[in-house]
């Protein structure tokens, strides 16, 4: 595939490169302020959807897995 098509085509999502991207992030040089290169360029953190699963689990754990309480808080 031609390089310009990969970068300009909105339907191209390189899922096969995700492991490489995660490895690069974990081993990347970070400045003394703790900033990553992504933060320095875009001014915000890069979050993966995986973190949402952990937040949901943590919220249920804080409610002692009481599904009734979780349901009430969800709809209010």
* Chain centroid, CA 15 distance in Å: 14
Write down the domain spans for the chain.
1-43, 46-76
Does residue 23 surpass a pLDDT of 80? Answer: yes
| Residue labelled with tokens 């081993």 | 27
Q: What residues contact residue 31 under an 8 Å CB cut-off, 6+ apart? A: 40
pTM: 0.26
**pLDDT score for 42:** 82
Distance of CA 75 to CAs 24, 37, 71, 72, Å?
40, 39, 6, 6
**pLDDT score for 48:** 61
Mean pLDDT (the chain, rounded): 67
């Amino acid at each position: 595939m031609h390089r310009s098509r990969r970068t300009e085509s909105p339907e191209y999502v390189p899922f096969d490169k995700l492991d490489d991207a995660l490895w690069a992030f974990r081993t990347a040089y970070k400045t003394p302020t703790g900033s990553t290169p992504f933060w320095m360029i875009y001014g915000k953190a890069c979050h993966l959807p995986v973190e949402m699963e952990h937040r949901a689990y943590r919220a249920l754990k804080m409610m002692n897995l009481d599904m009734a309480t979780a349901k009430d808080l969800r709809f209010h």
